[in-house]
Amino acid sequence: MAMALRQPGWYRGLFGLLLGAGFGFGLVIALRALSGLELFQTEQTGYPHVVVPLITAPFGFLFGFGAFDYWFRWAAGKPTIPEDHSDHGATRWQDYFKFNTDHKVIGIQYIVVTLFFFLIGGLLALLIRAELAQPGSQVVAASTFNGLFSTHATVMIFLFIIPIFAGLANYVVPLMLGAPDMAFPRLNALSFWLLPIAGIIFLGSFLAPGGAFDAGWTGYAPLAGGAPLGQTFFNIGVQFAGASSIAAALNFLVTIITMRAPGMNLWRMPLMVWAQLATSLLVVGATPFVAGAQFMTLFDRVLGMNFFNFLQGGDVISYQHIFWFYSHPAVYIMMLPGFGIISEIISTHSRKPVFGYRLMALALIGIVVLSYSVWAHHMFVSGMFSWLRVPIMISTMLIAVPTGIKVFSWLGTLFYGKIHTYSTAMLFALAFIVTFTIGGISGVMLGMIPIDIHVSDTYFIVAHIHFVLFGGSVFTIFAGLYHWFPKITGRMYDERLGRIHLWGTVIGTWMAFVPMHWVGMDGMPRRVADYASQYGDWNLVVSISAFFLGAVQLVFLYNMIVSWRFGPKAGNNPWRANSIEWLVSSPPPIYNFDEIPRVVGGPYEYGTPGARHAIMAGDEEGATVPEPKPTTVAAS
Amino acid sequence: MTRLPILKLVLATLAFGAVQSVVLLQFDWFGDAASTAAGPIDTLMDVTIVVSSFIFALVCVFLGYALIKWRAKPGDESDGLPIHGNTKLEIWWTLIPVLIVVALAGYSWAVLDDIEKKDSNAITVDVYSQQFAWTFGYPESGNKWAEGELHVPVNRQIDFKLHAQDVIHSFWVPEWRIKKDNVPGITTNALVTPDREGTFQLVCAELCGIGHTTMQAKVVVESEEKYNQWVNNLKSEVPAFLMSADQALEVQKRAEERAGGIQGSGVEEEGSGNHAD
């Protein structure tokens, strides 16, 4: 036991957790005793004896678990102990529960944990839909209801969509670059382990007096300022999720900029890599704003500061500006990686280069730049200074242009191709184009101020965000998971079950989210536990479809779990794709490559005889192939 | 390389878009209308729906055509044509969307100016919001007050001055199409010219706490005479909870002096029992 406590790992981690919690608790009590205050302050915005341990306990866990061992030992000039936590790779399932520094292990850790939170977020959604199936009060009280939709959104955004893209990219981007790992493997592992901490804090808020945080995932001041203790859990949870996100993005930026294989210039990078580069630029620039907004709310609540306290000269609307300066770019953080995935899949399965590759890459960068200038379209009715509305409207609508370029280029890629639709990944990619177009169109409508004035804060918004995030992001996530499943597990999933999952998801998505547009336009506000009886029928349709949509996801989980264990061997390159991850074994060997590959051409040179993207070491036949010139054939 | 049947594809797009537009325009998307703003806004929505129908049709027709025309036979391991792009085409599909969105933005701007034009004879009505009730003040009719029920004359512009006592609320009568947040600490405003008599529902559109769902008020639009009669019968004493921010600050200071310690953000002191659990 004493030995186990000296080694990094779960025992020492849990010990550190207790130590951290005890230290935070003791510190608060001691300081309050010294100041002559009551030892326990239990105003709903107070609870310092809970708030401080909420910050110190996770750090205690991370220290104990071994997240900082290497750095501390190195800084102290002591010999590092690589065999304890820096061991690369996984040979047993237990290795996935360690502070592992292998990008492929971390990728799987990310994907599994985020899918777990997808399940939790989905169950929360079903509770919401059970309540809303009929007018009146069904399942939960109004106070619980507000907590449900707040945690649903928070879990889905901060613990599913944003991090699962980081997980997928973690697995494939170093492979695509021809790199042995990410640039900072320990930082990478830390990014991952911050996530479950954020998740536990968010869900732990259900146990707080007063219930889970219930001011929406937007946590607007001053409602959040006076809300019960659960809101503090949100403020702190966002810090851990945000830190995870920022650290991962920095890691991606450095990896993509410095660790490309010889020959891979920017214009030879797969669009998946471009998308991750663009996303990381957004994360690094924007995420500090949501962290700041939550810190300011935390300080208002716990320390009695007055950033947003209007009674003391605080400015209520400034919260929204800071919050949305992150949270609109966040929508693109949740969409750009998906764009990358779709480009890979459509090109591979239509056996054709991506149409207008350079414009596709530039469109990603265009979205990054524009997305910093559109945040206030969430605030057209907020009472902010009115002159800002029209410029924001124009930039909001202009962002449809690079997005349109992406859609048209995917269509262009299909033309004159050899389109294979046997793969569920490709089917999800095609379904994504259609469904996402609807979300994009309703987005342009929302950008138009007079329309937005009527439909903002209604179910139209709920419909739009779910078409974009479910019909958009989640479809691309499914596409990506199916596409790289054989690479990650070395086995093939069941295409028949995949098709059932696809059609169920497509039908469920449309049936659940299309009627939301209608009731919203007709006057049903969002975030309500009850509604006028005239909206009852459509809400029943929405609820039934939501339960159907939820049930269909079980097919997906079954397919993934059973195929991982029993699926037929997939081989190195079941899709006959060109990019580097398909040139190594499935799953790839430890450190990915015996020798770094040499990149000799673009990533999508389908149809050009003899063209290669990369040549592996020891590939005698490939080594003699000269660098091919891309042939350009003009479309008529 | 076979030539594309561009003409046929364009015709199919136009036909699909036209059918879709006609079907979609049959519905009264925004529901009943009862203000002068509703006309221009609903027309803008209709135009947008038509434009969107053609864009959606374009994507569907071209996607469907590609899938039918170039679907590979099982076992076909050959590749498609190595087309890397077409600069002219790419310029077009960048420029045309720019023109479309700029045109729609310009149109929206014109509508916005139209619905926010202030009349010289507008009546001012104060709208006070708190968790979870609405109170209305009529400063131009001898400072009268009404709780939970709003009456306004028909065909006369109302300049609503929106106030919030505790958290953000949002003033919305769906039939009027106008929405604006009530923000604590500042006064916002909304201009509405009701053009139909009747009874409507004022809905709080911004999440404001546990009772958000129930925070509604009856809105009666009536003739000028009836309205005047109604206003004249109202009381003129200020409802007790309506304090100015200065008064609220005083109350908070006194509370802090009593407690002599660190207080919360102050919101909950005046929050009339928000999150009472």
Per-residue pLDDT tens over the stretch B30-49: 989 999 999 999 999 999 99
CB A408 within 8 A of CB B93: yes
The beta-carbon neighbor of A223 closest among B178, B185, B207 is: B207
Looking at chain A, the number of H-run helices and the number of E-run strands are 24, 2
* pLDDT tens-digit series, residues A151-192: 999 999 999 999 999 999 999 999 999 999 999 999 999 999
User: Which residues are bridge partners to A458 per DSSP?
Assistant: A525
Of B70, B162, B212, the CB nearest to A416: B70
Kindly give the residue spans of alpha helices, DSSP state H, lying in A448-535.
Answer: 449-455, 459-468, 475-489, 495-521
Q: What is the structure's pLDDT at B207?
A: 94
Q: Which residues of B touch A226 (CB under 8 A)?
A: 166-167, 264-265, 267-268, 271, 274-275
Say whether pLDDT at A634 is over 50: no
Contact B108 A451 (CB under 8 A): yes
Contact call for A43 and B263, based on CB within 8 A: yes
DSSP state of B235: B
Task: Tell me the C-alpha distance between B250 and B257, whole Å.
Answer: 11
Q: Which DSSP letter does residue B90 get?
A: H
Min CA distance, A132 vs chain B (Å)?
A: 12
Structure-token match 């110190």, residue found: A56
* Chain A contact present for B247, CB below 8 A: no
pLDDT digits (tens, 9 = 90+) for A281-298: 999 999 999 999 999 999
Sign of the Cα pseudo-torsion (A566, A567, A569, A572, in order): negative
A223–B271: do the CB atoms touch at under 8 Å?
no
Judged by CB atoms closer than 8 Å, whether chains meet at A607 and B80 is answered as yes
Task: State the pLDDT at residue A413.
Answer: 96
Write down the pLDDT at residue B141.
87
B209 touches chain A (CB under 8 A): yes
Mean pLDDT of A2-20: 88
- Residue A615's SS3 state is strand
- Angle, helix A271-302 to helix A162-177, in steps of 10 degrees: 140
- Average pLDDT taken over every residue of chain A: 92
Residue B139 CB coordination number (10 Å): 13
Q: Using DSSP, how many helices (H) and how many strands (E) does chain B show?
A: 6, 10
Angle at B169 between CA B164 and CA B175, to 5 degrees: 120
- Round to whole Å and give the CA distance between A443 and A358: 25
User: Kind and range of the H or E element at B134?
Assistant: strand B133-138
Query: Which candidate from A215, A418, A606 shows the least CB-CB separation from B207?
Result: A215
Q: How far B113 CA lies from chain A's nearest CA (Å)?
A: 10
φ, ψ of residue B198 to 5 degrees: the values are 150, -175
pLDDT band at B261 (very low <50, low <70, confident <90, very high): very low
Stretch 141-160 of chain B: residues touching chain A, C-beta under 8 Å: none
Using DSSP, state whether A290 is helix, strand or coil: helix
CB A326 within 8 A of CB A293: yes
pLDDT at residue A83 in the model: 56
Residue A347 host element (H or E): helix A336-349
> Could you tell me the two tokens for B109?
């701007």
Nearest residue on chain A to B58, alpha-carbon basis = A408
Put simply, the answer to whether B265 touches A304 (Cβ < 8 Å) is yes
Please write the tens of the pLDDT for every residue from A198-221: 999 999 999 998 889 999 999 998
Q: Which residues of B touch A422 (CB under 8 A)?
A: 74
**A-B contacts (CB, under 8 Å):** 334
Least confident segment among A43-47, A357-361, B51-55, B102-106? A43-47
Q: What residues of chain B lie within 8 A of the CB of A381, using their CB?
A: 170, 179-181, 205
Which three-class secondary structure state does DSSP give residue A516?
helix
**B26 in contact with A at a CB cutoff of 8 Å?**
no
- Judge: B66–A407 Cβ closer than 8 Å, yes or no: no
Query: Shortest Cα distance from B145 to chain A (angstroms)?
Result: 24
CB within 8 Å: B59 and A434: yes
Chain B residue numbers with beta carbons less than 8 Å from the beta carbon of A310 are: 184-186, 245
Is A401 close to B105, i.e. CB distance below 8 A?
no
pTM comes to: 0.92
pLDDT tens digits along A424-439: 999 999 999 999 999 9
Confidence of residue A311 (pLDDT cuts 50, 70, 90): confident
Predicted confidence at residue B277, as pLDDT, reads 38
State how far the Cα of A254 lies from the Cα of B91, in Å rounded to an integer: 33
Closest CA to A82 of A62, A101, A105: A101
pLDDT digits over B46-63, tens only? Answer: 999 999 999 999 999 999
Q: Mention every residue, 6+ apart, whose C-beta is less than 8 A from residue A332.
A: A279, A282, A367, A368, A371
By Cβ distance, the residue of B30, B179, B275 closest to A226 is B275
Looking at the predicted structure, is the pLDDT value of residue B243 above 90? no
Q: Using 50, 70 and 90 to split pLDDT, how confident is the model at A478?
A: very high
Contact A220 B102 (CB under 8 A): no
* Per-residue confidence (pLDDT) for residue A549, from 0 to 100: 97
Say what the pLDDT of residue B266 is. 40
Beta bridge partners, B220, equal B151, B199
The answer to whether B176 and B141 are in contact (CB under 8 A) is: no
* CA–CA separation, A433 and B60 (whole Å): 9
ipTM entry: 0.90
CB contact under 8 A, A404 and B97: yes
**Residue A522 Cα, gap to closest chain B Cα (Å):** 5
A316 contact residues in B (CB cutoff 8 A): 168, 183-186
- Residue of B93, B188, B267, B268 for testing the chain A interface, max A β-carbons within 10 Å: B267
pLDDT of A366 = 95
> Which residue reads 């389109």 in tokens?
A419
DSSP 8-state code for residue A332: H
pLDDT higher than 60, residue B245 = no
The maximal CA–CA distance of chain A, rounded, in angstroms, is 83
Q: Per-residue confidence at A621, pLDDT binned at 50, 70, 90? A: low
Question: What average pLDDT score do residues B108-117 get?
Answer: 95
Do residues A424 and A502 lie in contact, with contact meaning Cβ atoms separated by under 8 Å?
A: yes
B105 near A CB under 8 A: yes
Q: Which residues of chain B are within 8 Å of residue A228 when distances are taken between CB atoms?
A: 275, 277
Nearest to A121 by CA among A407, A477, A447, A431: A477
- Comparing CA positions, the residue from B116, B240, B227 lying closest to residue B178 is B116
Instruction: State whether residue B255 sits within 8 Å of chain A by CB.
Output: no
Partner residue opposite A606 with nearest CB, options B55, B60, B79: B79
Minimum CA–CA partner of A520 in chain B = B30
